[in-house]
Amino acid sequence: MADDSYNKDPAARLDYTWGWTDWLAEITDTIDTATVAVPDGLTAVGDPVFTDTDVTQWIEGGTVDEAYRVVCQITTAGGRIDERSIYLTISNR
């Protein structure tokens, strides 16, 4: 998954998913641990949930007209570390 941008309402609580399926299949590896860094102004709801290939984090909050970068980092069973970002722009919808 390349870096992605989304519009989010400040009152919305939504789930966002980072996917590593293609890359992990190429190297025959799986996700072992995952963290999601949510900047001030947004709130992570619970811990990230992950499968062998994807990480999902519920996020709420934000200030209208602000943009936020949310970073997901994984460590694979084989010891590889990678991270990917999404960008959330907050607007009334």
Q: How many domains does the chain have?
A: 1
Quote the domain boundaries for residue 63: 4-90
Which pTM value belongs to this model?
0.93
Pairing of strands 4-8, 81-90: parallel
C-alpha span between 37 and 87 (Å, rounded): 12
Q: Residue 3: what pLDDT?
A: 59
Question: Cβ–Cβ contacts within 10 Å for residue 61, how many?
Answer: 19
Residues of the chain with pLDDT under 50: 1-2
pLDDT of residue 87: 97
CATH number at residue 73: 2.60.40.10
- On the CB side of 55, CA atoms within 13 Å amount to 29
